[in-house]
Structure 1
Amino acid sequence: MFRPLAVYIGARYTRAKRRNHYISFISLTSMLGLALGVLAMIVVLSVMNGFQKEMSSRILGMVPHAAIVGAQPLDDWRSLAGTALANPQVRAVAPLTELDGMLSYKGTMQPIQVQGIDPFEEPKVSIIADHLQQGRLTDLAPGEFGTIIGEITARRFALQVGDKLTLIVPELNGASGSVTPRMQRLSVVGIFKIGAELDGSLALIHVADAAHLMRWQPGQVQGVRLALKDLYQAPKVAGGIAGELGAAYRAVDWTQTQGSLFSAMQMEKTMIGLLLLLIVAVAAFNIVATLIMVVADKGADIAILRTLGATPGQIMAIFMVQGSVIGAFGILIGAVLGMIVALNVSDLIGWLESVSGRQILSSDIYFVSYLPSDLQMLDVALVCTAALVLSFLATLYPSWRAARTQPAEALRYE
């Protein structure tokens, strides 16, 4: 089988046992350094993907993917729901009324966003029913002013099911233009825990009670909440539906309400990836030291090859092949180990917790009590490609030095 001279000699130099064991040791450390750098990048990026996916499923499972809101209260939300469901991207629809206010309990207050929901329609568009620690959605009955609060709010106020608290909402006085507080006594009928900031900033009431607080007619709602098949299409889908309905309606989607949070998480992932790439770069440029010593050790061989007719380009290619092979093996080892660790990192952390007897991620402190991981092959490909490019660049200078070797000078003292 035909093989180019540079590839044949470069591969043979990589396999050959060197007289200088120090050079062999440096080559091994370069390979291991690359492997550890690639492993670290793959594992860290997978864990960050896992956290982002977990937060997305929890937060975007609670907040509306999109909502169509009317300029005036809607008397018949089901007709609007029918129009929305005609769009193939819309999976389900439920009525929604939102208002902001303050919760007060025994002199302690906190801001809160209150969502008026229909207990029978809400499970179609929300994951709230799966995260109730106490109570049920159907405990929200019209006219009884029950509320379901988050676990952080319940812990902050030391509330239990059956306790009473006060909701304070601002009310605009049309005559004077002033804003006056309006108070409503609520009864806690349930507690939910999503594992996100929503546990301390969101409360649910019946949509009929929300209409009463807004001084609307019974049955009127603010708009409808949409659950989409592809949440990343939310701006396009919601904007299209609102455009069909006319100027009396406007669209709100999760990119407006929660977009900054997910942009920050993406920025964090990018910056950590760049910082970890520096580790890979340091390991890759260890190949420079390895090849410089190899060039010095193989000076006589280079001179003989030159006298036999090898061109400077061929000499340069030989050592570029050797350095690239070292880098490729290190990257391959790191990629395989990184994927294995990323796929089993949750089990490894669980094993460490059982051995040490300490919980690394306590549910009392962190929203996620385990270490999620989401291995994405695109990340693996990007990491390996970047490491290969850095490894190749690290071979250029030593190979150029080897190509400049003068046969007479190299053989003078041989």
Structure 2
Amino acid sequence: MSYERFIAWRHLRSKRTSFLSTITLIAILGVFLGVTALTSVVAVTGGFEEAFRERVLGVNSHLMVIKYGVDFRDYREIQEEIDEIEGVSATSPFILHEMIATHGNLSAGILIKGIDPATAQSVSDLPKYTLEPGVVSELEFERFPADGQVKQPRILIGHTLAERLGAERGDVIQVTSPLESLDPGKWSSKSSAPSSRQFEVAGIYRSGFHQYDNRMVMVDYQALQDFFNQGDTVTGVDVRVDDVFGVGAIASQLRRDLPEGRFRVMDWRQLNHNLFTSLGLQRLVLAVLFCFIVLVASFNIVCTLIMIVLEKNKDIAILKSMGATNWGVMKTFIYQGAVVGFVGTASGLVGGLAVCLTIKHTSFGLDPSIYMIDHLPVRMLPLEFAMVGLVSMAISLLATVGPSWWASRLNPVDGLRYD
């Protein structure tokens, strides 16, 4: 062990001056609290971002291809073209409309999505959010049955919407649209009465994302075609890709390959741009603010080292008169500050991990109408913890430079003048 480390360790362990020991403990405690708070904030904000992404991509696809206008009849050919692109794992057609659902005396505005039960499960994780297994397959609707008897279509609704309407599995709800038909050939200037149809509740899903559970419902897309007296047309095509974070490259390729001006291609980031931009900005701001806690704590390290320099003025003079270099004296105090920063950072990381585990295993109920999810999520990544530790140590080491440099510049004559 070099003499710089030996002296630094002796200074930190010295019990002769209880005041300095107290200052050192306060400096360690400050770094501990700052790192604990920073790791907790990074984990919770990262958990929110991951939870929203999982909920959004659990019910929806990674990418949507929508044709301008309402006459999207060549969707099967478009699907085949999209399936040939490298990185695309599945496609499925869909129809979207805004309607009103009624059960008894209760009504609610809904976003009804017509899906293909046979392929929809390959472009989303919807089945794992349903309360009844295999319910997505039960949505299948035969528009032109062989016996000519069209059966009542079935519908899948979110649990929050089910509570609002007082509906359960097996109940019948009425879906009403202000549009009698979306076939341009049947449009006229005359007003038309709203069209409606009854749907049997096939099941209930719980995605954990309030906007979906409260508003979005699913039916067989052929049931919507029959509802609006449409031909074989859809709104667009859902696309699932192998790499959810590489969806931008596939979206760009689709924009180049598909006929220009006829289709709109939107990935999950564009569809939820405001949400994820807001989450990213909040995470950055909170991380910067809590970094200031560590920065403030580093001033305790500065104060500790200054107090040690003032107390050890004579000892520094003796060391320099014995041949210690300015760099050797500077390293002595840098080591002391580094030990304080390391102990505070290490204990802070352990404290942050404990806080995150407590949050993860404790039920902190959130109001989904405000926070959009019903629990407090946490994402603990070793890389993020390591980054927090590196930032804390960097701040702590920078805090030692000033006092250490001052100590190294002391004149031995000034330290021994009055002895």
What is the CA deviation profile of residues 21-65 of structure 1, one whole-angstrom value per residue up to 9, with x for unaligned ones?
221122122123212321232233223323322221122111221
Change (3 A) 1:134 1:362: farther
SS state at 2:332 partner:
helix
Correspondence 1:324 to 2:338:
yes
Answer whether contact 2:103 2:172 (CA < 8 A) is retained: no
What is the CA deviation profile of residues 45-92 of structure 1, one whole-angstrom value per residue up to 9, with x for unaligned ones?
223323322221122111221122234534454332222222221111
Q: Which residue of 1 aligns with 2:34?
A: 37
Q: Which residue of 2 aligns with 1:97?
A: 95
In 1, distance between residues paired with 2:367 and 2:360? 15
Q: Which residue of 2 aligns with 1:356?
A: none
Correspondence 1:243 to 2:256:
yes
Letter in 2 for 1:400: W
Between 16-25 and 140-149, the greater mean CA deviation after superposition: 140-149
Q: Cα distance, 1:186 vs. partner? A: 3.1
| Structure 1: segments with no counterpart, 5+ residues | 350-358
Residue 227 (structure 1) aligned to one of 240, 245, 250:
240
In 1, distance between residues paired with 2:408 and 2:300? 20
SS state at 1:133 partner:
coil
Residue 174 (structure 2) aligned to one of 158, 165, 174:
165
Residue 130 (structure 1) aligned to one of 128, 131, 153:
128
What is the CA deviation profile of residues 168-220 of structure 1, one whole-angstrom value per residue up to 9, with x for unaligned ones?
24468886668867332232412211111211121112101222344421x33
Between 154-163 and 164-173, the greater mean CA deviation after superposition: 164-173
In 1, distance between residues paired with 2:251 and 2:95? 17
Q: Which residue of 1 aligns with 2:148?
A: none
User: Number of paired residues?
Assistant: 400
SS state at 1:360 partner:
coil
Answer whether contact 1:361 1:368 (CA < 8 A) is retained: no
Q: Which residue of 2 aligns with 1:294?
A: 308
In 2, distance between residues paired with 1:160 and 1:405? 82
What is the CA deviation profile of residues 122-154 of structure 1, one whole-angstrom value per residue up to 9, with x for unaligned ones?
111122222223582233224534322211212
Q: Which residue of 1 aligns with 2:197?
A: 185
Correspondence 1:55 to 2:68:
no
Over the matched positions of the two proteins, sequence identity in percent amounts to 28
In 1, distance between residues paired with 2:290 and 2:86? 42
In 1, distance between residues paired with 2:332 and 2:385? 28
In 2, distance between residues paired with 1:23 and 1:276? 27
Change (3 A) 1:378 1:177: farther
1:5-404 superposed matches below 5 A = 6-7=4-5, 9-14=7-12, 16-71=13-68, 73-75=71-73, 77-105=75-103, 109-133=107-131, 136-140=135-139, 141-143=141-143, 144-161=152-169, 162-170=171-179, 182-189=194-201, 190-196=203-209, 197-217=211-231, 219-247=232-260, 248-339=262-353, 342=356, 345-347=359-361, 349=362, 360-361=364-365, 371-404=376-409
Answer whether contact 1:35 1:334 (CA < 8 A) is retained: yes
| Structure 2: segments with no counterpart, 5+ residues | 144-151
Residue 408 (structure 1) aligned to one of 407, 410, 413:
413
Aligned alpha-carbon RMSD (Å): 2.9
In 2, distance between residues paired with 1:272 and 1:226? 35
Q: Give the TM-score of the pair, scaled to structure 1.
A: 0.85
Change (3 A) 1:181 1:287: farther
Q: Give the TM-score of the pair, scaled to structure 2.
A: 0.84
